[in-house]
Structure 1
Amino acid sequence: MDNILHVVNGDSTAKILKESNIQGDILVWHEMLCEGPLDKEVGSDTFWMNRYNFFKNEFNVERLEYFDKTIKKIVQLEDLEGVNEVVLWFEYDLFCQINLLATCSYLLKNYRKDVTYSLVCVGYEKGKDKLQTLSDYTSEEYPKLLENKIKITKANLEFTDKCWEVYVKNNKEELQNYKFKNPKFWYLPKAIEQHLKRFPLENGLNEIQNKILQIIQANSFSEKEIVRELLLWQNAETVYGFGDLQYFNYLKKLSDYYQVKDEIYSLNKLGKSKI
């Protein structure tokens, strides 16, 4: 009997996968590598220290919690003894695509000839008005997704490893010029295009920061209402794929540009000068 390891993009996917009764163990990739300091060598001491410090400083996540939820799970990919196939379950957005690059880079570092590597990556679907996430499918539909999986070769892993290296460098010119196109990773170029919009514009702020100031200027919103509006904008016009915690953090870091009275945000003089 095949021993399959499913590496999934989050808890919601893991839940649906369990309900589908698809054979195999499930490993949840609990990271958000589209944010914070990185290191080319996924799984190295420097990599983990960078990530721990980021989560501690930005989200007050303690070392033990990060170890239990993230490191303890991910390092299982270093030893695939007895595993016949690794299936990666990810989505089209920037959040998932960067995690996917890191996962593939890590798998290459620990590559085994006796393991088959496969990818289930959702997004465009004929007849659907919007891009699909893994949460848009029912447990009854997951076997069909698995049936349409894409085989990932060592050469494919080497491609993602180079893409990961370019992303970690985060040089705008190199990101613009590098050829991220690959038929196995169809959504990657669009995700990188989205990432490039996080570089500062002429006013010193990036697309997300400018959008936050625009929302504050146009409305009388509380913190939660601003983040709700950001999520609506994200889903309609971007492929960031961020969670609400990331947007709460973006808003907090823009405190020099607004004031809050009775929980309602408004731009100050500096904020208005950026619009």
Structure 2
Amino acid sequence: MQEYHILNGDALRNRFPAELKGKCITFRECFIDGPLKAQSYEQLLIDRSQYIKQEYNSTHQEYNDLVIKELEKLSNIPDNSEVNLWFEDDLFCQSNLWFVLHRFHQINKKNIKLYLIRPLNAFPYSYGHHSNNELIHIYTNRQKLEQLELWSNLWKSYADGNTTTLLQIATQLKSNYSHVRAAVDSHINRLPNNNSDGQPQEFVKNLIKQNPNLSFKQVFIAFQDKFPQYGYGDTQVRKWFDQYQKLV
């Protein structure tokens, strides 16, 4: 039986324990942001490539080389394999996990065993705080992941913007995967409504309003300290910083 490790980003790839055998696949998308729904899987990747090009100053070739080629490896995983999913508990990582599980449901491999490898409770949003031995420890205590169709529906509800169904599915998964409900709650809290731009956006706006001379670095550090559960990187927060700076 072949073994695979799907790693959410290069940071973990660069320090992945040599003691753990198997082939690594690096997932480099960021489904916390940008288009989520298209008529087909292929069209979604085209839309994502265009979005990443515009928002992250990338190129279509870079997206193909860094993202699509790794995604293709998912389809090439043979039947009867073990797949370890290394995704942290924050919304950034969880939305990526939901997509990966939806993709596995689509390609319908036979007798694939899926395992979720979550961080230690002390560091739910960062493998970066784990030692080499701790990474091995959480692998040893990996959790078998089941109910694949339910996970696929979780992704589809997320992509559709159907928060009612999203909450219902998260509640169904709660007994075995309690962190999913927390990620769904974070997603709902960030959505704009008539009274708010969204929880993380409002924090940045109010911080700048109260302290207009703060640098982006200071705002970003304060944001990370306050809302690690979102997993937003500096690029996402920078957009809000620039937007609200103009209003001061």
Normalised by the length of structure 2, the TM-score is: 0.90
Counting only pairs closer than 5 Å after superposition, residues 205-216 of structure 1 correspond to structure 2 as 205-216=197-208
Shift of 1:86: 0.9
Taking a change above 3 Å as real, the CA distance of residues 140 and 175 of structure 1, as seen in their structure-2 partners, is closer
Q: Is it true that 1:146 corresponds to 2:145 in the alignment?
A: no
Q: Percent identity?
A: 24
Counting only pairs closer than 5 Å after superposition, residues 60-99 of structure 1 correspond to structure 2 as 60-81=57-78, 84-99=81-96
Structure 2: runs of 5+ lacking an equivalent: none
3-state DSSP of counterpart to 1:113: coil
Asked whether the equivalents of residues 190 and 198 of structure 2 are also in contact (C-alpha less than 8 Å), the reply is yes
3-state DSSP of counterpart to 1:141: helix
Structure 1: runs of 5+ lacking an equivalent: 260-266, 269-275
Taking a change above 3 Å as real, the CA distance of residues 23 and 82 of structure 1, as seen in their structure-2 partners, is farther
CA RMSD of aligned residues (A): 2.1
> Equivalents in 2 of 1:116, 1:173: separation in Å?
30
Shift of 1:111: 2.4
What number of residue pairs does the alignment pair up? 245
Corresponding residue to 1:58 among 47, 55, 59: 55
3-state DSSP of counterpart to 1:91: coil
Shift of 1:36: 0.6
Per the alignment, residue 104 of structure 1 pairs with: 101
Normalised by the length of structure 1, the TM-score is: 0.82
Per the alignment, residue 6 of structure 1 pairs with: 5
Asked whether the equivalents of residues 97 and 191 of structure 1 are also in contact (C-alpha less than 8 Å), the reply is yes
Per the alignment, residue 192 of structure 1 pairs with: 184
Paired amino acid for 1:157: L
Q: Deviations over 1:91-147 (max 9, x none)?
A: 1110111111100111111222233221112252xxx4x535222211122222111
Q: Deviations over 1:151-198 (max 9, x none)?
A: 123xx211100111111111344445x231314432111101011112
Per the alignment, residue 32 of structure 1 pairs with: 30
Paired amino acid for 1:196: I
Shift of 1:15: 2.1
Paired amino acid for 2:206: Q
Q: Is it true that 1:136 corresponds to 2:129 in the alignment?
A: yes
Per mean C-alpha deviation after superposition, the further-off stretch among 72-81 and 132-141 is 132-141
Q: Is it true that 1:258 corresponds to 2:245 in the alignment?
A: yes
